[in-house]
Structure formats: C-alpha cells, structure tokens
Structure 1
Amino acid sequence: MMDDLTLLGFGPDGWAPLLLKGCLLTLAVSATSMAIGTVLGVLLAWARLKGPRWLRRTALVYGVVLRGVPELLVILLLYFGLPSLILSLSETFGWEAPGLPPPFLIGSVSVGLVSAAYQAEIFRGGVGAIPRGQFEAARAMGFGDLMCFHRIVLPQVTRIVLPALGNVWQFNLKDSALIAVTGLSELMRTSLVAAGSTRHPFLFFGVAMALYLVLTTLSSTAFHYGGRYSNRWDRG
C-alpha cells in the first residue's frame, strides 16, 4: 500500500506530475479536435443544406466515410501514411523531404475530422428543427442570409444541438486515448509508460480509468448547466 502511494505521489519516484500533465494534454487535444470538428462540421452542414449538388454529394460522402471507419485508422493514415505519400512526391519532384508531423497536430486533426462528420449531422438536424415559417417571415421582413443566421438560426440551433455536442465532446475525450500510438504523452500513453516502468499495470490503468471518469463527469456537468442556461428563456 505504501509502495502504491509512493508511485502515485509527487516525490522523486512519483508519477502524479506526469499523470496530471497527461490529463492536461488530453484536454488540450480534445478541445482542439472539438474546435476543428465544429468549424468543419458547420461548413459540411451548410454544404448539405445550401450548397450546389456536387458539394452536397461531396459532404454526404465525407460523412459516410468518416463515420464508417475506425478513428485509429484515420490517425495511422495521417501519421504514417501521409508523410510517406509526401516523401514519394518529394522524391518525384525533387523537393526537400519533410519529417514526421507533430503528434499533437496529427492527433487533433484526426479526431477533429471524424468529429466533424458527426457534428455536421447534428447542426443539419438543428437547423431542420427550426420551423420553416420563421425563415419565411424573416424573408418577408427583408432579412438577408447573414441577419437570418445571426437573429434566427444561431440562437435556436445553439440551444437545440448543445446536448448532442456534449456527447460528441465525450467521444473526443475518449478517442484522444488512441493518439497514444503516435507517442504523444497524453493520459493513456503516460499510463502505459508508467505501468511498464513500474510493473504495476493494474494500479496505473485503474488510476487512468478514474481520471477519465473524472474528466467525463466534469464535462457532463458543464454541458448540463450550459444546456440549462441556454434554455432559461424557453417556456415551451
């Protein structure tokens, strides 16, 4: 018992600082991937709703493919496959060969690309939940597209999609563990290294489980109160 407390402490043999750093890196990757997924998801939703036919089909194919393949495959494809492709092109055209991309960037982009496929459907469904009569009334009052988005779409869609975005955030938080394959020292990778170095796998994997549960519970609470705040004027 004393040995376990020493390994989880802040002393010279303790792993607590590295585990906490891993938690912060996990949150950073999750937040970055969520931001990437939100921006791209909004663009994909717009393409499905307002884009020309070729763009609607492209966005549809993107969603089907990215929702249908494992996130780990996307990470491996971008981290190992993309540099290999760029290297082949560099040799063909005589360019300077690039090195491996930063694991944080690849991890965030990979999870963000998959997240965007889900967020696009959430935003598209949120816009579809707004009664069409509101758009017709806005047009009759002379609202342009930008004003219609700012005054009608954005406030209502934010309230409608927030619970679903909370679920996507939870997925991003857990999917960030897959980035351990790139060597990024987030929570999962740190726990693997600690378990292998100390030969206490049950201890460190149990601690990692507890830390992930803390992060997901705090996130659920934050989205719950965010949803209550966004619905404070809704009497329906």
Structure 2
Amino acid sequence: MMDALHEILTSGWGTMLLRGALMTVFISLCGIILGLLIGIGGAALKTGGNRLWRGLVNLYTLIVRSIPELLIIYLLFFATVQPAADLADWLDLDELMSSFFPMLVGIVAIGLISGSYSVEVFRGALTAIAPGQIEAARAIGMGRWQCLRRITLPQLFWYALPGANNVWQNALKDTALVSLVGLVELMRAAVLGSAATRAPLPMYVLAGLLYFIIGVFSQAAFVWAERHYGRGMRASRA
C-alpha cells in the first residue's frame, strides 16, 4: 500500500488528482451559482407568479427530480454534442470544443439539478420572512428595491443557508457523474490513474480523501456564514 502511494505521488498522479479536485470545485461552484439563480427565480414565481408560471416551475422540478442525474447529463450531452461540434467545425474551434464542451455540459447539468432542489429551499426561505416586516419597511418610506436589498435578500439567504448547504454537498458528488462524458475531474483522474498505475485502491482512497477535505471545508464555510450573517436576525427573532 505504501509503495503504491509512493509511486502515485512520485509519478505525477498526485498532481493530476489535485487538478481534478480543482476542476470538481470549479464545476460545483459554477453549477451551484446557476442553480441558485434558478432557485431564486423559481421560488419567486412559485410564491408570487400566476398559475401558468407556478405550473411551469412545478413541472420543471418534477421532471428534473424524477430523472436520475446521470440520465440528465447524458440527455444534455447527446442532445447538444452534434450541434456544438458543427458550430466548432464551422468556426475552426475543434480543440476548444473538445476541451470546454464537457465542462459546459457539467455546469449546466449541475445547475439544472441543483436548481430543482433550490426552488424549494428558497421558497421555504421566502415564506419564513414575516410579511409585517415588508409592510413596516414600506410604511416608513422604503422603496421596492430598498426593501429587497435591506429586508428580503439578507433574510432570504440566511434562511436558505442550511438547505443550500445540502444542495452544495450533493452538487459536489454529482460532479463525479460528469466524468462519464469526458470531463477530467477528480473521479475521472482517479479512474485514469488507477488504470495507469494498476493500483486502484490507493488511488480511490486518495480521491475519497480529497472529496472529504473539500466537504469538510465546505461545511465549515457554511457554518461560519450562518453564524456570521445570522447574528442580527437571531436577536430580532428572540
């Protein structure tokens, strides 16, 4: 075991795993940002939109939650790979296509998946804000954007932090599925390294350790954010 670990670290696969870990974090960050935007917009439509918009949001969340994440990635990939390849060939950007297309598919897939869960996270956060606060803010002369910036958004994100943490942790793990369409993230780097070194167990142990480290730091960041940004709101609720 120790000899295999030494070979992995000295033959460059340790660096490859670190690069894969960085790609995992990058894909997760971009995907979760897209998912949060979808979640906020969907929650706003679900709580304040008309029946048509509410129905469309409900249909989106039902479809995405009902289909396995891997199938969503495959559907996105095979539905767009040929048009993207034709466009890249027309623009003479074939190398750029092979490098960035799997990454783009991963970001969109993670965004759609995380967005379907974020809708409910932010809907719950919106309903947790007392309507009387908005009414009081307008009574003292605050405009719509002032209410949004000073009343709604701070509380919205604080109430949504615990649920967003779960969505983020799931997004981190879902990036492993994107490796099946050619993206070299952490899981793909581990697969390639285990085939090259013929030492799958140490390679996967190292990959698992890196996933664990990312998860621990992510959890600590969410805990800090919840404590830091919720101090005033805890006092007001008490």
| Alignment counterpart, residue 29 of structure 2, candidates 23, 28, 31 | 31
1:139, distance to aligned residue in structure 2 (A): 3.5
Give the distance between the partners of 1:50 and 1:69, measured in 2 at CA: 27
Q: TM-score, normalised by structure 1?
A: 0.88
Structure 1 position 56, deviation (Å) = 1.4
Counterpart of 1:93 in structure 2 is none
Q: Percent identity among equivalent residues?
A: 38
Other-structure match for 1:5 = 5
Deviation of the 1:192 alpha carbon: 0.5
Structure 2 unaligned regions, length at least 5: none
Is this contact kept in 1: 2:8–2:14, CA < 8 A? Answer: yes
SS of the residue 1:43 aligns to: helix
- The range that moved more, 39-48 or 107-116, is 39-48
CA distance in 2, matches of 1:64, 1:115: 13
1:2 Cα deviation (Å)? 5.0
**Given that residues 5 and 202 in structure 2 are in contact (C-alpha distance below 8 angstroms), is that contact kept between their aligned partners in structure 1?**
no
Report the Cα distance in structure 2 between the residues aligned to 1:83 and 1:174, rounded to whole angstroms. Answer: 24
Q: For the Cα contact (< 8 Å) 1:166–1:223, is it kept in 2? A: yes
In the alignment, structure 1 segments of 5+ residues that lack a partner are 91-95
Partner of 1:196: 195
Structure 2 counterpart of 1:25, which letter? M
Preserved CA contact (<8 Å) 2:179 2:185 = yes
Q: Give the RMSD, CA atoms, in angstroms.
A: 2.1
Tell me the distance in 1 between the aligned counterparts of 2:204 and 2:2: 18
The answer (yes or no) to whether the contact 1:34–1:169 under 8 Å persists in 2 is: yes
Larger relative helix fraction: 2
Range that drifts further, 140-149 or 26-35: 140-149
What TM-score results when the alignment is normalised by the length of structure 2? 0.88
Residues 15-50 of structure 1: CA distance to partner in whole angstroms, max 9, x if unpaired? 111010000000000000011111111111111122
Greater shift, 156-165 or 16-25, is seen at 156-165
Aligned-partner Cα distance in 1 for 2:141–2:48:
19
Counterpart pick for 1:53 among 51, 60, 81: 51
Question: 8 Å contact 2:8–2:197 — kept in the other structure?
Answer: no
Structure-1 separation of matches of 2:223 and 2:192 = 34
Q: Which has the higher contact order (CA 8 A, sep 6+)?
A: 2
Q: Distance in 2 between matches of 1:185 and 1:54?
A: 40
